Each structure stands twice: as C-alpha cells, then as structure tokens.
Structure 1
Amino acid sequence: MTFTIVSLLPGTQNTNGDAQNATVLERRAEWAGIAARTVSVERAAELPGEVDAVVLGSGSDASLERSRDVLRTMHEELRRWGTEGVPILGIGTGLELLGWGVEHRDGSSLEGLGILPGRAVPRDGRVTGDVVVASPRFGRLVGFENHARDYVGAEGSPLGRLRAGAGNGRDSGQEGVVMGSVIGTHLHGPVLAKNPAFADALLRIMAERRGLAYEPGEAAAAIDAYAAAARQAQLRAAGIELAPEA
C-alpha cells in the first residue's frame, strides 16, 4: 500500500514554500515504514484516482483568479474527498480559495469553492510576523503569517486561539478554520515542518482511513529536534517561551 499525497497547483500556489508540506507528509510516512508518493497536480486530468491527503499552498494575488478557475474544475473531487475524511490542508490564499471567497478593496469579489466556512476581507495594512496558536485538536502550533486580508465567518470552527500574532484578525483572537479533516490556516513555515505533531496527526488520519496504525519512525527524532529548536526560537521571539503547551 502506498499513500498518495496531492500537491495542488505548486506552480502558482507555492510562494512561501507551502507546497513542501506534501513532502513533509511523504517523508514522515516513509520514516514510519509506509510507502508514500507526492503527485504534483496542475490540472484536473492529472488527479490520481485514489488520494490520501491534499496540500494547497499560498500564491500571489496576481494568480488568484487563475488558480480559482483551475480548482473549480476539481471542485467535485475536493468536496467528495473532504466529505470522506481525506485531510486537505490549505495555507494562505489556499485557505481563501477553499472558503467562500475573497473581497477586494475596490469592492469586487472572487468566489471561492465553499468547502470551508469563512471569507477573506480587506484589512488595514499587511500583517507579517510570528504566530503561535493553541489548537484543541493539534496542540500548540507556530508559524509565520504574511497576509493583507482578514478571515471572517470561521468563528464557530477555528483551528485554534491565538497566543501571538493577528491570525484571522478583526480582534477574533482566532486562527484558521477546520471542517472535519479540511483545514485552513495562515501559518507558513512550512507549517508541517515546524510542527511535526501536526503532521503526525494528519498521518494518523490517513492511516486510519486505510486500516493502518501510524507511529513516527526513529528517523524522525533527529529532524524533530531541529523543529523543536526552531519552535523554541519562535516562542522566545513571541515572548511566550515558558507558556505551557496547549
């Protein structure tokens, strides 16, 4: 058995290296003794017949409409996979495209796929910097945010609450959105590389769907030590190094 991990539109949706979250899942699966492959998909005809996880990274506003139009041709598959419990991870504009859509400052709007609740709306100025999130499902997450829009309408199902950073904005105190195994976040990093426990949680979902058990392999320990050091540095920068994991 081989895990199939789809990296969606890596040619346009990878401005922050977010497409590499697919590689993180692939490597950690292999370290656990599970064969895995990453399939880069730029058009619907390239979608594999069976999928275990999907990663949709962040792109520029210049490519936003083009990416949306391509994703529309895959709407049926994405919605079905989300209903079936396949982990789908959208980051940055990937989150926005999976949501209800994007409102622009000039009053125009771009309709999203509607797979996740919430809509991206203009904010006053771009926000960049470290983010720390307490997620009840995935533990404490760290990452870097870089976005010029807030995200509203996800208050009932956020990824977690903020310990540092702007997250969804509008003084919501929240970051991201979750609907079953479909997850959207502003966290770059790539987020799964900085948060191995988050990656392992997705891999357990993938394994359970296939009737398997997943436990991190021994080879992951050395890499996780690097991730832990990066996390500690980010927590120190955010001034919450001694905050308990939550």
Structure 2
Amino acid sequence: MTLTIVSLLPRLQNTNGDAQNAHVLAARARWAGLEATVVDVESAQALPSRVDAVVLGSGSDSALEPSRAALLTMHDELRRWGTEGVPILSIGTGWELLSWGVELHDGRSIEGLGILPGRAVPRAGRVTGDLVIAAPRLGALVGFENHARDYVGAEGSPLGRVRAGHGNGRDSGQEGAVMGSVYGTHMHGPILAKNPVFADHLLSTIAARSGQEYTPGEQARTVDGYAAAARAAQLAVAGVSVPVS
C-alpha cells in the first residue's frame, strides 16, 4: 500500500520551506521500505482519494485570505481527517488558519477553520530567533520562529514547554497546539528535518493506520547524524542543555 502525503497549498504556504516537511515524511518512509508519495494540492479538486498525512506550511500575511478561501473548500475533509486520526502538521500561518481565527494589526479579523483550539493575536513587535521546546514523548525539539502574532487559547493542549525562545507568547511558556493527531507550531526548519524523532512519531501513526509497521531505515541513521549535529549546535547557541525535561 502506498502512503499518500498531501502537501496543502505549497504555492501560497511555503515561504519558509515548510512544505518540504511532506517530502521528509515520504523520504523516511521509503528508507524504511514503505511506498510513499507526495501530492501537491492547491484546490479541493486535486485531493487524492486516499490521504495518510497532511502538511500545511506557512505563508505571508498577504496570502492569508486566498489561502483561507482555498482551505474552506476542503473544510469538511480537514475536519474528517482530524477526527479519524490522520496526522496533520500545520506551521506558522497555516496553523493560524486552522485555528479559531487570526486578528490583524489593522483591526481586521480572519475567521479560521476551527480545527485547532486558540487564535492568533497581534503582539507589539515581530519575534525571530531560535526556539527550543520540551515536548512530551519527543524530548527536545528545535526550530526557528518568525512571527508577529502570539497565540492564545491553547493552554490546555500545547506541543511543548518553551526552553528558549518565545513560542505562543503572553507569558504562557508554551509552544504550539495539539488536538489528537493535528499539530500546530511556530517552528520552521523544516521542523521534521531538524527533529527526526517527531517525523518518526508521525510515521508510526501513519503506518499503523494503514496496517503497516514503521522502523527507521539504515539511511535514516546517516541523515539523523547530520540532524543531531545541527541540533546540538542550535541548542548550544540557545544555551539549553540536553536532555530537556
């Protein structure tokens, strides 16, 4: 059985290369001996008949409204996938669009799809820099944050606790939002390339749902060595010692 990984709106939602998380999943699946393909989806008409995972990257604020319009045509599918346990990884504005809504600096609001709890609200200034969190069952995750909004209303379901960086902000000490197998995060990187443990966690879920087993392949070990070195350097710069608890 071929695993189908959907990259949603890669033309509009890929300013930080986050759409490449879909290809990270597909590559690691193939290294494990599983068949996998990535399908770029820009409209509901392009949705494949089977979807095993979804990646929605981040875009510019100018893309918020056209991206929302496109996502609304897939609202029922997104909600069904979330209910059925299909892993959905959303980053940056992609995450914000799956929330309750996005409040802009000019006073306007963009209604979200309501797939994840919480909403994005303006902050005084843009935050950029290294972001390190401690995530349950995943340990230390590293990435780069670059956002001009905080995120409120997800205090009961964060991806992890902030150890360096800003995260959701408003003194919450938290980063991201999780609802079942639906994930939202500020972490660019792409996050799955920098954090293979997160990629493997998602792949275990994907494989199990299709009646298969996932065990990282031999080639993954080599690539994971590069990721570990990059992570160690970023943790050192951020002044965070591992393991993070």
Per the normalisation by structure 1, the TM-score is 0.98
1:105-137 deviation per Cα after TM superposition (whole angstroms, max 9, x unaligned): 222100000000010000010000000010013
Whole-angstrom CA distance in 1 between matches of 2:244 and 2:228: 13
Identical positions, percent: 73
CA shift digits 1:159-184 (9 cap, x unpaired): 00000000000010000000000000
Aligned match of 2:239: 239
Residues 102 and 112 of structure 2 are in contact (CA less than 8 Å); yes or no, is this contact kept in structure 1? yes
Partner Cα distance (1:142, 1:105) in 2: 28
User: Which residues of 2 match residues 3-82 of structure 1 at below 5 A?
Assistant: 3-82=3-82
Deviations, residues 144-197 of structure 1 (Å, cap 9, x unaligned): 000000000000000000000000000100000000000000000000000000
1:95-174 correspondence runs (5 A): 95-174=95-174
Counterparts of 2:111 and 2:74 in 1: how far apart (Å)? 15
Residue correspondences, number? 245
Distance 1:206 1:175 in 2: 24
SS class of match (1:187): coil
Paired residue secondary structure (1:23): helix
Report 1:180-195 matches (<5 A).
180-195=180-195
Instruction: Render the CA deviation track for 1:210-240: whole Å, top value 9, x for unaligned.
Output: 1111110001011000000000010011011
Specify the SS of the correspondent of 2:158: coil
- Partner SS state of residue 26, structure 1: helix
Structure 2 counterpart SS, 1:219: helix
2:218 partner SS: coil
Alpha-carbon distance, 1:199 to partner: 0.1
CA distance in 1, matches of 2:137, 2:89: 15
After the TM superposition, list the runs of 4 or more consecutive aligned residues in structure 1 that deviate by more than 6 angstroms.
none
Which residue of structure 1 aligns with residue 221 of structure 2?
A: 221
Query: How big is the shift at 1:244?
Result: 1.5
**Contact preservation (8 Å) 2:139, 2:243:** no
Q: In the aligned structure 2, how far is the partner of 1:245 from the partner of 1:197?
A: 14
Q: Is the 8 A contact 2:101 2:109 kept in 1?
A: yes
SS of the equivalent of 2:27 reads helix
Q: Is the 8 A contact 2:79 2:115 kept in 1?
A: yes
CA RMSD after TM alignment: 0.7
Q: Match for residue 211 of structure 2? A: 211
Task: Name structure 2 gaps, 5 residues minimum.
Answer: none
